[in-house]
Amino acid sequence: MDSLLIKGGVPLHGEVTISGSKNATLPIMAAALLTSEPCIIRRVPQLTDVRFMAQILTWLGAKVTFQGDELRIEARKIKGIGDYDLVRKMRGSICIMGPLLARLKSATVSLPGGCVIGARPINLHLKGFEALGAKIQISGGYVHARARKLVGTEIFLGGRAGSTVLGTANVMMAATLAEGITVIQSAACEPEIVDLANFLNAMGARITGAGSPTITIQGVKELHGAEHEVIPDRIETATYAIAAAATNGEITIHGSNPGHLTAVLDKLQEAGVKIERRGPDLIVRRGGRLKPVDVTTLPYAGFPTDAQAQMMALLTLAPGISIITERIFESRFMHVSELARLGADIELEGPSAIVKGGRPLSGAPVMASDLRASAALVIAGLAAKGTTRVLRVYHIDRGYENIDGKLRALGARIERVPES
The CA-atom distances, in angstroms, between 371 and each of 17, 69, 123, 181, 328 are 20, 22, 24, 37, 16
Q: Give the residues across from 70 on adjacent strands.
A: 67
Q: Please name the residues in contact with 167: beta carbons below 8 A apart, sequence gap of 6 or more.
A: 122, 124, 125, 128, 157, 159, 188
The count of other CB atoms within 10 Å of the CB of residue 289 is 11
State the distance between the two ends of the chain, measured CA to CA, in whole angstroms. Answer: 9
Catalytic, out of 39, 95, 115, 189: 115
The count of other CB atoms within 10 Å of the CB of residue 277 is 12
The values of phi and psi at residue 223, to 5°, are -115, 160
Question: What is the side-by-side strand order in the sheet with 81-82?
Answer: 81-82, 106-110, 142-146, 135-139
Length of the chain: 420
Q: Please name the residues in contact with 133: beta carbons below 8 A apart, sequence gap of 6 or more.
A: 147, 148, 149, 150, 151, 178
Coil vs helix vs strand at 176: coil
Q: How far apart are CA 94 and CA 87, in angstroms?
A: 7
Question: Can 115 be counted among the known catalytic residues?
Answer: yes
Torsional class of 279: left (φ above 0), alpha (ψ -120 to 50), beta (otherwise): left
Active site residues: 115
